[in-house]
Amino acid sequence: MNFSATSDLKEIRDLVNKELLNFVAAENKYLNEIASELAPVASAMERFLLDSGKRLRPLFAYIGFLGTGSKPTIEILRACAALELVHVCALMHDDVMDASDTRRGAPAIHRAFEAMHKINKLSGSAEQFGISSAILLGDLALVWSAKMLHQSGIDGNVLLAALPMYDEMRVELMAGQYLDVYEQALASESVERSLKVARYKSGKYTIERPLHFGAALGGANSKLMKSYSDYGLPLGEAFQLRDDVLGIFGNPEETGKPAGDDLREGKRTVLLAKTMELSDAKSKAAINSALGNPNLTLAQVEEVRAIIVETGAISEVEDLITSLTSSAQSALEHGEIEPLAKSALTQLLTIVTVRKL
């Protein structure tokens, strides 16, 4: 297979998208052979993958591989692309757990299947049908990820070397997601605890583990693994902190979620914990009445935003993002990483903390 190594992020992302769509098209053909009733599952999976998505995990994995100096192949790229399907599972299940209505500007999967139930006047609860469908589509995405990795065409020994990282990443994701759900239920206001949740549910899973996975595919030594942790762990936390800021201040057109959605969902983020820490009784009361309120108005969102700014919580979080990012930058400068990969990781550093691609 003719394959020219590139460290251009957009080019890699395009290749990742192409491999994902090829895989899903083949699997959908198979689903259709099982039963034509699976057509809505197949098209929902395809649509979900086509809708934007930054492909951060495949990108980090592939750059992690390039950092080892091994020669990339389309098979390696395909193996890295498989990580995206783990993320698809996480997003679909997350939306059920948060009872989110939208994802990437479109109805969340459970809402889409709920609507299909209503339009076709099916029997039983439309809401329950939506939830069941989203659970199963998420499960299927998780299984597809493994299948795509297994049949990527990479050498068997290379696959065996990377599987432990792949498993670790998925266990940490599920553990982190549970901690997140539990944290909301505790209504925790601890900054320290929120940071820990952020580390597991998002940081390690988005950056450190994909880098390790790619590194394992390239036969990395433990020194490179360590450099990737030194870069990935602080950057992962910075990534989640940026996500928290966008969850309250983000432009719906860019986030694909309504304004202030994290407030509506009652998310206990680091930003919110900081704000509570710095708030007086009146501000605390205003925040508490907004948190988890499904009928939150834009005016209430604005009020909470003002408190976050006035208390200085936003500056503290922005400072934290800056300092975590600079730790990551410094790890990059001191680690022994191939120059092309180093340059791509520097770009990614900006992308995940500023969030444009």
Q: Is the dihedral of CA 306, 307, 310, 316 positive or negative?
A: negative
Interaction between residue 284 and its own copies (CB under 8 A): no
Count of beta carbons in the 10 Å neighbourhood of residue 34: 8
Nearer to its own copies, 60 or 144 (CB): 144
Give me the phi and psi of 24, to 5 degrees please: -65, -35
Of the candidate spans 73-81, 138-146, 254-262, 300-308, the one that interacts with its own copies by CB under 8 A turns out to be: 138-146
- 175: buried, middle or exposed (CB in 10 Å: 19+, 13-18, 0-12)? middle
Structure token digits, residue 195: 């940071």
Interaction between residue 340 and its own copies (CB under 8 A): no
Nearer to its own copies, 161 or 351 (CB): 161
Structure token digits, residue 75: 């098979």
Count of beta carbons in the 10 Å neighbourhood of residue 337: 27
How many chain residues touch its own copies (CB under 8 A)? 60
Q: How many residues does the chain have?
A: 357
Nearer to its own copies, 188 or 346 (CB): 188
What are the distances in angstroms from CA 95 to CA 20, 110, 141, 184?
Answer: 22, 8, 14, 15
Interaction between residue 139 and its own copies (CB under 8 A): yes
Interaction between residue 190 and its own copies (CB under 8 A): no
The answer to whether 347 touches 202, Cβ cutoff 8 Å, is: no
Q: State which of residues 61, 80, 85, 140 lies at the interface with its own copies (CB under 8 A).
A: 140
Q: State which of residues 56, 80, 96, 216 lies at the interface with its own copies (CB under 8 A).
A: 96
Q: How far apart are CA 348 and CA 173, in angstroms?
A: 21
Report CA Rg, the chain.
21
The least CB distance from residue 266 to its own copies, in Å, is 6
Structure token digits, residue 141: 């995405």
Of the candidate spans 100-108, 123-131, 226-234, 270-278, the one that interacts with its own copies by CB under 8 A turns out to be: 123-131
Q: State which of residues 136, 278, 340, 351 lies at the interface with its own copies (CB under 8 A).
A: 136
Q: State which of residues 7, 100, 133, 300 lies at the interface with its own copies (CB under 8 A).
A: 133
Compose the 31-60 pattern: x for residues touching its own copies by CB under 8 A, - for all others. x--xx-xx--x-------------------
The answer to whether 83 touches 217, Cβ cutoff 8 Å, is: no
Helix axes 74-81, 209-217, angle to 10 degrees: 150
Of the candidate spans 140-148, 256-264, 300-308, 329-337, the one that interacts with its own copies by CB under 8 A turns out to be: 140-148
The answer to whether 183 touches 197, Cβ cutoff 8 Å, is: yes
Structure token digits, residue 320: 């934290």
Of the candidate spans 56-64, 144-152, 256-264, 269-277, the one that interacts with its own copies by CB under 8 A turns out to be: 144-152
Nearer to its own copies, 7 or 206 (CB): 206
At 304, the amino acid letter reads V
Nearer to its own copies, 107 or 266 (CB): 266
Site for its own copies in 14-33 (CB under 8 A): 27, 30-31
Compose the 199-238 pattern: x for residues touching its own copies by CB under 8 A, - for all others. -x--------------------------------------
Please name the residues in contact with 159: beta carbons below 8 A apart, sequence gap of 6 or more: 79, 149, 150, 152
The least CB distance from residue 149 to its own copies, in Å, is 9
What are the distances in angstroms from CA 105 to CA 14, 40, 96, 340?
Answer: 21, 19, 16, 34
Binding site for its own copies (CB under 8 A): 27, 30-31, 34-35, 37-38, 41, 89, 93, 96-97, 99, 117, 122-124, 128-129, 131-133, 135-140, 142-144, 146-147, 150-151, 156-157, 159-160, 163-164, 167, 170-172, 174-175, 177-179, 181-182, 184-187, 196, 200, 266, 292
